Amino acid sequence: MFLKTVPVILFVGAAAFVTSSTVHDARAAKIPVVTVHAKDFSFDAPKTITAGMTSFKLVNDGKMLHHLQIMKLEHGKTFADLQAAMKDPAAAPPTWLVSVGGPNAAVPGNTIEATLNLEAGNYVIACFIPSPGDPAPHFTKGMIQPLTVAAASGVAQAGAEMADAPTPTVHLVLKDYGFAFSKPLHAGKNVIHVMNEGPQEHEAVFVKLAPGKHIADVNAWVTKEGMKGPPPGTPIDGMASLAKGRTGIFTANLTPGTYGLICFAPDTKDHKEHSLHGMTSEFVVK
């Protein structure tokens, strides 16, 4: 089923940096900031941006939880082609729809950022988070729209917001089915370079766990309890789904406490969330 097998990030909750050396080369660069406002249930976003390394800033103005999943329409496909494919509820997600990341898990009132390096082409932005008690992802309610990434002209747009390109301090590898950090995270600012080395697409949802709770409680709350009742943790930062070989950067500003990391992308074989295949992690930040 198309609507069931497209990655559903259940929270509340390309070319890009193929190696760490390419990130290092961009340290001194200024990059554009693209701000997207999420509402219930729509995006206020530019229709066209310039190709290259870009910081995407998701501002959640709604009362629901939202994220920004960016996907590339490959092989010359357009948003109209995607809309046509979505009309068949029994169809699998088209192979030309490729997840390239984005800011993950923004609670109401929060701003989440992720840095990606996108080539020119046709893209789409969407929110796949469902509402508590309602399994329909938000894109079915209007939170989906096209985005054109135009070839860079070499001329910066007047008045465009710019920021320093992020310099990663830690690397995070996603794989089937687990997470691997290059070193432990610490309290304060952690600039995380995410790499998906698994054959399937994966996401990284960071959760600050409530006292006495564990990532297993978060997994059960999402996959078994339908997100009903008080959440056992609060999503913070993270990277939306990345296809095989894709990478991106996000910053996690952590305070001391216990955190979880989890992936809810559906498995290509049994369509169960990767968290049910063991793709969870729990760690303490001091």
Asked if residue 279 and residue 202 are part of one domain, the reply reads yes
Burial class (CB in 10 A: 0-12, 13-18, 19+), 47: exposed
Q: Which of 131, 162, 193 is the last residue of a domain?
A: 162
CB 76 within 8 A of CB 92: no
CB 17 within 8 A of CB 23: yes
Write down the pLDDT at residue 154: 60
CB 128 within 8 A of CB 93: no
**Listed residue (53, 47, 61) closest to 33, CA to CA:** 53
Asked if residue 34 and residue 154 are part of one domain, the reply reads yes
Asked if residue 80 and residue 11 are part of one domain, the reply reads yes
**CA dist., res. 239 & res. 204, Å (int):** 5
Q: Which of 162, 188, 223 is the last residue of a domain?
A: 162
Q: Could you tell me the CATH number of the domain that includes residue 257?
A: 2.60.40.420
Write down the pLDDT at residue 29: 87
Asked if residue 88 and residue 9 are part of one domain, the reply reads yes
Asked if residue 170 and residue 147 are part of one domain, the reply reads no
Integer-rounded Cα Rg, in Å, for the chain is 18
CB 123 within 8 A of CB 146: yes
Asked if residue 182 and residue 143 are part of one domain, the reply reads no
- Structurally, how many domains does the chain consist of? 2
Asked if residue 192 and residue 146 are part of one domain, the reply reads no
**Domain range for residue 244?**
166-285
Q: Which of 143, 162, 181 is the last residue of a domain?
A: 162
Report the predicted TM-score, pTM, of the whole model to 2 decimal places. Answer: 0.89
Asked if residue 173 and residue 146 are part of one domain, the reply reads no
Write down the pLDDT at residue 160: 73
Asked if residue 128 and residue 69 are part of one domain, the reply reads yes
DSSP 163-207: EEPP--SEEEEEETTEEEESS---SEEEEEEEEE-SSS-EEEEEE
Write down the pLDDT at residue 22: 40
Q: From the first residue on, what is the mean pLDDT of each consecutive set of 10 residues in the chain (286 residues)? A: 38 34 53 97 96 97 95 97 88 92 94 97 96 91 97 67 95 97 97 97 97 97 91 94 98 96 95 97 96
Write down the pLDDT at residue 158: 54
